[in-house]
Chains A and B, each alone.
Chain A
Amino acid sequence: MPAEHAPSFGRSNGSELRLDRLVKRFSRGEPAVQIDELRIRAGEFVTLVGPSGCGKTTTMRMIAGLEDPSEGEIYFGGKPVVDLSVQRRNVAMVFQNYALYPHMRVSENLEYGLKKRGVPRAEREVRVLAVARMLRIDGMLDRRPRQLSGGEQQRVALGRAIIRTPEVLLLDEPLSNLDAKLRTFMRAELVKLQRQVGCTTVFVTHDQLEAMTMSDRIAVMRSGRIQQFDTPQDIYNHPANLFVAGFIGSPPMNFIAGTAEGGGGGCTFRAQGLQLHVSDADCGGRLRPGDGRQVTLGIRPEHVGLDGGSGDLAAVVSVVELIGAEKYVFLESEAGELIARTNADARLQPGDRLFCRFQRGKIRMFDSTTERACVEPLA
């Protein structure tokens, strides 16, 4: 965003956001959300990612104050806020379908929050203009939402949220209604905007690509619980369990179920058609002892090399998909189906017989019973 469009409406100080033993139950039975602790640093961009129904939106609504937690506390900058109504929390939220007030003009939509908080008209006008310029919607302040395109509506929704310089900014799948091209563009725009405004941001999505590309840290959720909270790189390279390993990454990580023998420094992994010695170095961390344990070997498609002569596992090509700069090669082997990612110019045909070679250092091991990683990343 050009420097001359730097916001003159103020910069949020952003507060540390902490969820402490937060539980939400909608009825008797398993809680919809159960988070022991989630500590988000001031000004950080954190994404809650997970499949539909995993509790990420409920968590966000509890942070906003639109939903009351059944148990637990939420702290903004150390202050408990659960007993504060949504109107009294300094949060702003962008909704999936933007929820712009259809009967108000763009300028009225933008200033509504300021008006409700008693900001004088003159200051409101200055801020509306500043935020509109920043988001490049200053030419459409007199229009109504239905006269705007999806991208424009989204920018108005963002403007309405940041104009108040909230302590915490909540984004509920704001990119999901945009077409693919605009979504890619808006991902970068959103991150830049967040850096400029500086407020602590929680972004909810089910799209792992958005989570990976935009976040300082990601909380992967499943069945209301946080599976892993880490940087995108660590989540990708060192998934804490089978769910995270399978959810993050596209195409997903390959899994081969087998047994491990030996331990402490390395082990021998055995599966149908595959016998592999895996050392600590091979799996990029300390392999925890687990003699005779049922384990699952995980390897990402880009770490599966294809070789016509020799390798770790014999396989037959079943489908080849060209994805622009690369190819996804679907393979069938005794150990199960696998996907490999290769260069676009690799000459492969369905029916080709070849060998898969697993890149050493990139192999991951998971306990098949607990589904947890049995590799501790090296410090």
Chain B
Amino acid sequence: MDAGGGSTSVRGNRGAGRLARFWARRGNRTAVVGALLLLPVVAAFILVIAGPLARGVILGFYRVQQITMNTRFVGLGNFERVLGGTQFWNALWITLQYTVGGLVLQMVLGVGVALLLNQHFHGRALARSLAIFPYLLPIVVATTVWKWLLNPNYGIFNTMLTDVGLISQPIGWFSEPDLALGSVILVSTWRVFPFVVIAILGRLQNIPRQLYDAAATDGASAWSQFWDITLPQLRSVLIITVFLRFIWDFNDFNTIALLTGGGPAEATLTLPVLIYQLGFGQHQLGLAAAVADLTLILLSVLFVLYFWMTKPLGDQR
């Protein structure tokens, strides 16, 4: 016993000595303190982001009882149902139209307005403030105002178009299946293009003036200067703006839910609205989660491809 006790004590002493030596090294102390400081953030990340995400992904493999919330594992059953039907594919096609259409309009309008606001003119500060106004407006207010403006009965747009003789009778911009998606895209573009303006304008202001002077002495016209200097200099900010706007528009629920709710006749039923309708309208949480999982996979694959093609790390400054 004694001998055993002695050996334990020696081992304990050795362990304490090793710990003391470990702690004596500044690099080790820094590493331990660093790890401890990171711990709250990692815990919060797991709790708030990774946990719910994993729960959502897993839910796609279960059937969920509506009231009891009891779950039953169904494997790929939900995915088979979703991919086998037409609703998912329609929603995906509409989502892509909504996202790409909106993105193109936002980028063209955003870059154009940013270029204008980068010029020297009287009242530039006021113009810049006005340009970001739509982005500051609460989405409920913005969509309500647009619904009023485009209303077939009392909307000013229809009245104006009828008055000038462009249309013979009022148009239901949000209620006609052929027009609804386009109208939603336009309203969404109006609301979010200021984001593109802010991002592009910030970069434009940092392009050295001398690059344009050099290009001009090299014989470049204003048009050439835009293609050869401005656009390449905007490359990195364009890549990141397209990336962010694509994700945000692809996942945009609010605008469509508030303007059309996915109608008429599913003409504006995008994937986020479909997920909502499946999950909270039809109480099929497993199916909704499966659609969400597919959306996540789609976006991930798209953006791996996107970054691989655009190489945003090669900053051109």
Contact = CB atoms under 8 A, between A and B. Distances in A.
B224 interface: yes
A96 B211 CA distance: 12
Nearest to A61: B213
A114 B161 CA distance: 52
Interface in A92-112: 92-93, 95-97, 99-104, 112
A231 B49 CA distance: 74
A103 B238 CA distance: 15
Contact of B213 (A95, A112, A164): A95
Contacts of B220: 87, 112, 116
A95 B229 CA distance: 16
A30 B214 CA distance: 29
Interface residues of A, number: 25
A86 interface: yes
B210 to A, nearest CB: 4
A97 B210 contact: yes
A262 interface: no
- If over half of B's interface residues share one DSSP class (helix, strand or loop), that class is named, otherwise mixed; here it is helix
B85 interface: no
Given A99-B208, A103-B235, A103-B316, A113 B213 contact: no
Given A99-B208, A103-B316, A87 B219 contact: yes
Interface residues of B, number: 20
Nearest to B224: A116
B221 to A, nearest CB: 7
Contacts of B232: 101, 103-104
A101 B213 contact: no
Contacts of B104: none
Contacts of B208: 97, 99
B317 interface: yes
Interface string A267-300: 0000000000000000000000000000000000
Nearest to B208: A99
Nearest to B235: A103
Given A112-B228, A116-B224, A101 B219 contact: no
A91 B213 CA distance: 12
A64 interface: yes
Nearest to A67: B213
Nearest to A163: B218
Contacts of B233: 102-103
A65 B210 CA distance: 14
Give the residue among B214, B216, B220 with the most A Cβ atoms within 10 A. B214
Given A112-B228, A116-B224, A101 B214 contact: yes
B219 A93 contact: no
B198 interface: no
A322 interface: no
Give the residue among B211, B216, B218 with the most A Cβ atoms within 10 A. B218
B217 A101 contact: no
A280 B213 CA distance: 51
B317 A102 contact: yes
A198 B232 CA distance: 34
A93 B235 contact: no
A117 interface: yes
B131 interface: no
A66 interface: yes
Given A112-B228, A116-B224, A93 B317 contact: no
Interface of B: 208, 210-211, 213-221, 224, 228-229, 232-233, 235, 316-317
22 contacts: A64-B213, A64-B217, A66-B213, A86-B216, A86-B217, A87-B219, A87-B221, A92-B218, A93-B214, A95-B213, A99-B211, A99-B214, A101-B214, A101-B228, A101-B232, A102-B211, A102-B317, A103-B233, A112-B218, A113-B217, A113-B218, A117-B219
Given A64-B213, A102-B317, 10 more contacts: A65-B216, A87-B216, A87-B221, A95-B210, A95-B213, A95-B214, A97-B210, A101-B232, A103-B233, A104-B232
